Chain A
Amino acid sequence: MSAALRYEWRRISSIRSTWILIAIAVALSSGLALLFSFLLGSTADGDSDGAEITLDAGLIPVSAQVAANLLVLVVVSTIAAQAIGQDYRHGTIRVTLTEFPNRTVVFSSKIIIALAVITVAFVLSLVAAAIVLGVGGNTTGNGDDPLGSIVRTWLYALGFCAIAFALTAITRILALGVVIPLVVAAVLEPLASSLLTNYVSWLPDALPFTAGLNFANGTDALRAGLVFGGWTFAALAVAYVMFTRRDA
């Protein structure tokens, strides 16, 4: 397994796009934090007649949520999609599977290294957002259980990226692995929720990315976490079965 992890690390770290995507994620988080800080400051000025908003315990959780914003997630999920999509795109999956005939090892090492790199991107994005928000002196949010909030947001980001990885493995098309989660999270789920809630009241809670967001935000976290985790596990399970059973 260690050889496969080493192979995957060299694969992911030897292409510029990995580093570019991490840089974009950090820049995007900083930009969003700046925008958030500006809007918050304007609102605060209006509401409290120039009163200074000070740094509080909500800074880090809010920064985490900025770092796991859908736009940032789309960027970092591309790293996950590339982990397997580039192998199919360039035919190197056959080289990889010749070196490592055990496909379970290949699948595992790809997801482990991709999620590890995404964790680094998440932490860097979080730190960048926190610095911007801290310098701005503006933050809101729930200061209770900041660590739990960060962990939940981090897990949501990992789940989102794992789904992108799984969809790429299933379709063998990198672009679909990135676009499908975006479209589902940004368009289809909000649409389905607004149109069908009156008929199927439980539907919003059962949708993957809605549940993921609720989990990250701590809204009925346990149930939402189980739903989101279930979707993520199911996507990975289907991807794993197809990866091991199909011709390379």
Chain B
Amino acid sequence: MAVEARGLTKSFGDKRAVNNLSFTLEPGVVTGFLGPNGSGKSTTMRLMLGLDHGEGTTTWDGKRLAAHKHATQVVGAHLDARFFNPNRTARAHLRMLGAESNVSNARVDEVLDMVGLAAEAKKRPKTFSLGMGQRLGLAGAILAKPKALLLDEPANGLDPQSIQWLRDFLKFYASDGNIVFVSSHLLTEMQQMAEHVVVISRGSLIADESAKSFINRSTRNDVLVRSPRRTELSKALQAVGIQAKPDGDDGLAVAAQDTAAIGDVAFANNIALHELTRRSASLEEAFLEMTANQQDYATGGGTK
């Protein structure tokens, strides 16, 4: 199954929240959905699910969601950790959600156990922490074993162990041939989880590619060279067309990825090297670079 979003557009008054957004979600990998606060990620997910009305279409295995007999077997969505009635027990909540696909009580208990809420099954979630609410929401999303998961910030409120569990679970779910589309502002986590990224800013598409190629596009990928004869090395590199700039006390940041070429230049000029390290940008650095000056809610930058 593939999910195709085409021309998704949504305005709130004069503000264009989502602007002609198109992308395709493929099974087998976790796709990260990234964007600054207010960039339209949640609105996009709601448009995909038909919860918000706008322009454009989203097809699930070639059909609109409403055209499927059992929507819960097509997509499981978790949009907010507080979307439950606080007075309905966790088990009753899942039994209610399971009604669409006639999910068995055994499956409800299995899912509760899977997300670590077996002991809380008979409790009313009004006392649940944010992390427990996330687990209950995830349990609801996977209940009918859907072919696609849409998760909006599912790691919010989770402790490090739970985040690691979530990461492993989502990677496993995707590897089983399913689509996993997950938004998060925890970019370090996303880097470990997502093989593909869809990046938006101010409602428009910035990138729809593998996480690796997205990171490689960053100008922050360079090589660090440390040498006691930094100035001479810099001139030698420039002589062969390699740009370098000072980095630290005795280092050079070289805008090239070929460490061998740099080593050869140093050797040819009889310059000793103390370090020659390729530095790759992180997903966070690449993301910040690509979305620079595009945040709707950026701070002034000053501190008092």
Contacts and interface: CB of A to CB of B under 8 A. Distances in A.
Interface stretch (A57-65, A91-99, A124-132, A193-201): A91-99
Which of B49, B86, B89 has the most chain A CB within a 10 Å cutoff? B49
A219 interface: no
* Count class of interface residues, chain B: 20 to 34
Contacts of B77: 95, 98
A98 B99 contact: no
A151 to B, nearest CB: 32
Contacts of B16: none
Nearest to A16: B87
A3 B102 contact: yes
B85 A92 contact: yes
Given A16-B87, A92-B83, A247 B53 contact: yes
A86 interface: yes
A97 B50 contact: yes
Interface residues of A, number: 27
Contact of A90 (B53, B64, B71, B86): B86
B140 A95 contact: yes
Nearest to B72: A99
Interface in A90-115: 90-92, 94-95, 97-102
Given A90-B83, A90-B86, A101-B50, A95 B99 contact: no
Interface stretch (A6-14, A141-149, A203-211): A6-14
A102 B83 contact: no
Given A10-B95, A10-B96, A15-B87, A94 B46 contact: yes
Nearest to B144: A99
A4 B49 CA distance: 18
Contacts of A10: 92, 95-96, 99
Interface in A21-54: none
B46 A3 contact: no
Contacts of A7: 96-97, 99-100
10 contacts: A4-B100, A90-B82, A91-B82, A95-B97, A98-B71, A101-B64, A101-B65, A101-B71, A245-B53, A248-B46
